[in-house]
Amino acid sequence: MTSSSVQSVPRLSKLPATFPTEGAINIEIEEGTPVLRATKAIQERIEELLDKRRDSQLTEAEESELRQYEEIDDYLSFLNRLVRNLTQFTAIAASGTSEQPLTRKQAMKFFSSIPDATPGRSILSGQPTVCGLFR
């Protein structure tokens, strides 16, 4: 029996206090697919925290803020992968290349075979990232 790795939906505990409730996320189009990316202001705040961590030590509140940004990064990366995979999957399904509909097992194999759209890893977790918070 073959086991496939299915990524669970990331959970957000809370948003950083510095995270604006409006205008924090941009939507860009890459190869016809929407991609969620952090705004320049959010990226600058993260860079500020990362620079401070390299040069000195972050306060407990700043460490917490940076962890919260990583959670957002994981969540947006998950959403970006989901949208990209669904877009690619529906394009293949609509192309009529298969005489029969894909089974659930075939669909899971397809989704797990697609690499991340943008190579890169979260600076904090080392996990693949595509949303652009940690470039």
pLDDT tens column, 67-111? 999 889 888 888 888 888 888 777 666 666 555 555 667 666 665
- Whether 134 is covered by a domain: the verdict is no
Does residue 83 sit within a domain? Answer: yes
For 4-51, what is each residue's pLDDT tens digit? 455 566 778 888 888 888 888 889 888 888 889 888 899 899 999 999
pTM of this prediction?
A: 0.65
CA dihedral 41, 44, 49, 51 (to 10 degrees): -170
100-132 pLDDT tens trace: 555 667 666 665 655 543 444 444 444 445 445
Number of domains in the chain: 1
- 45 lies in which domain range? 25-113
Whether residue 123 is contained in a domain is answered as no
